[in-house]
Amino acid sequence: MVLKNTNIILSGADPEFISEDMNEAITQILTAGQELAELVTGLAEQRQANQADDLVSALATANIDGEQLTPAELASFFILLVVAGNETTRTAISHSLALLTEHPDQRELLLADFEARIGPAVEEIVRCVSPVIWMRRTLTSDAVMNGHAYREGDKTVLFYQAANRDESVFPDAMTFDITRSPNPHVGFGSAGPHFCLGAHLARREITAMLRELLTRVPNIRASAEQVTPHVRRKPSRA
Ligand code: HEM
């Protein structure tokens, strides 16, 4: 149920997950959010009655200077967490197999010293894949960037994959190089209060999955063309 609902919320109008009829799609998104909210608020009630050693108990009973999360806040945090944690890592992991298939030299390099190279390799995978394509932000103050003036309240879109292909930051930006150093990619966002909360978990998931896949099934290869056009990672000049 969680997987189905997070897929609907992140579908981006992909007909594999959501209706092409706009009204129906809106209902599907609202229902998905509601089902997830009911799941966590129900769990929170149980945990308030019987505290356990788990995340929902911690969230449901957290009390900072007398302030607690309301059920609505708990629900939106939970939805953010499961949505953000689901699509991102599976996209990174599937693309990593495609990248290692397309670049046998990099695969060989990784396997020659997996434990030493997997750390930088994961960063390069996240840079090249940029699983989160964009985020919409509202400016909290006036700013000038690259000669463009922006005003407080302006709505902006951050294109992570464009930033991660910036030739002025990354030499040979289109090259997949697991030894790239330094690698100041912004695939998890840039330093600040909204930097990805799950970055360490994501790095660990990708590492664990590649370690097991490449040792248990050493000949595994991506065998088909990537099917979803929006995940073809090309630089954006938008
Ligand atoms: C490769 C995997 C992942 C990528 C590429 C990724 C990327 C991102 C990006 C770009 C942001 C926005 C940062 C910003 O606004 O500056 C973000 C935020 C966030 N991510 Fe991730 N993420 C990944 C995995 C995860 C996982 C596994 C979790 C949790 C289980 C997670 C939880 C979150 C949360 C809760 C936020 C919101 C943080 C906030 O606004 O305070 N992410 N992530």
Structure tokens at 23: 């009204």
Write the pLDDT tens digit of every residue in 72-91.
999 999 999 999 998 899 98
d(CA 12, CA 32) in angstroms, rounded, equals 14
Query: pTM (2 decimals)?
Result: 0.90
Q: 82 alpha carbon to ligand 1 midpoint, in Å?
A: 10
One-letter amino acid for residue 79 of the chain: I
d(CA 96, CA 130) in angstroms, rounded, equals 11
Q: 219 alpha carbon to ligand 1 midpoint, in Å?
A: 31
Nearest CA to ligand 1 atom 21: 196
Q: Give the DSSP per-residue string, 149-187.
A: EE-TT-EEEEEHHHHTT-TTTSTTTTS--TT-SS----T
Q: 198 alpha carbon to ligand 1 midpoint, in Å?
A: 6
Pick from 79, 196, 203, 204 the residue to mutate for probing ligand 1's pocket: most ligand atoms within 8 Å of its CB: 196
Q: 1 alpha carbon to ligand 1 midpoint, in Å?
A: 21
Q: 89 alpha carbon to ligand 1 midpoint, in Å?
A: 10
Q: What is the largest CA-CA distance in the chain?
A: 57
Q: Is the peptide bond before 71 cis (omega within 30 degrees of 0)?
A: no
Helix axes 114-129, 199-216, angle to 10 degrees: 120
The least confident of 56-60, 165-169, 211-215, 234-238 is 234-238
Write the pLDDT tens digit of every residue in 89-102.
998 998 999 999 99
d(CA 102, CA 79) in angstroms, rounded, equals 35
Ligand 1 site residues, Cβ closer than 6 angstroms: 80-81, 84-85, 88-89, 92, 126, 131-132, 135, 160, 187-190, 192, 194-198, 201-202
Tell me how many degrees the CA angle 119-121-124 measures, rounded to the nearest 5: 120
**pLDDT beyond 60 at 168:** yes
Of the pLDDT bands very low, low, confident and very high (cuts 50, 70, 90), residue 119 is: very high
Write the pLDDT tens digit of every residue in 126-142.
999 999 988 999 999 99
Q: Give the DSSP per-residue string, 95-125.
A: HHHHHHHH-HHHHHHHHHTHHHHHHHHHHHH
Structure tokens at 216: 């248990």
User: What does the pLDDT read at residue 236?
Assistant: 37
What's the gap between Cα 85 and its chain centre?
A: 6
Residue 86 Cα: closest atom of ligand 1:
27
| Average pLDDT estimate for 232-238 | 39
Please answer whether residues 176 and 106 qualify as being in contact, where contact means their C-beta atoms are separated by less than 8 angstroms: yes
Nearest CA to ligand 1 atom 16: 189
d(CA 219, CA 201) in angstroms, rounded, equals 26
